[in-house]
Amino acid sequence: MECKGFSLKVFYNERRKFVLVCDFELLGKKFVEGHYILDVSREYYEGECANEEEVAVQIKDADYVSLIGDQSVKLGINEGLVHKDAIVKVQGIPFAIFINTLT
């Protein structure tokens, strides 16, 4: 599948909404640095090809959001879900998680 945006995967577990977002070009890659392993496996992260607006709609009411890649993490920051100090980088690839504890 050719995609120039994001891979967006949404699923539900009981009453919780989980959203996985990664820059599409990172799918299927694995990054290792020290004791950190960032495995962007297709089995877990591959979803629909989405643009920025589609991702923004899905992450706004999610209980758990995983963001991998420059554009994905930037979107999380712009939407107010991620603080720049909460970003971890593995081999230069940014990664952030948002967990909504208010629902």
The answer to the question of residue 66 being in a domain is yes
Cα–Cα dist 72/100, whole Å: 18
Q: Which domain holds residue 64?
A: 9-99
Cα–Cα dist 43/3, whole Å: 17
For residue range 54-101, list pLDDT tens digits in order. 999 999 999 999 999 999 999 999 999 999 999 999 999 999 999 988
Cα–Cα dist 82/25, whole Å: 22
**Domain total of the chain:** 1
For residue range 11-35, list pLDDT tens digits in order. 999 889 999 999 999 999 999 999 9
The answer to the question of residue 87 being in a domain is yes
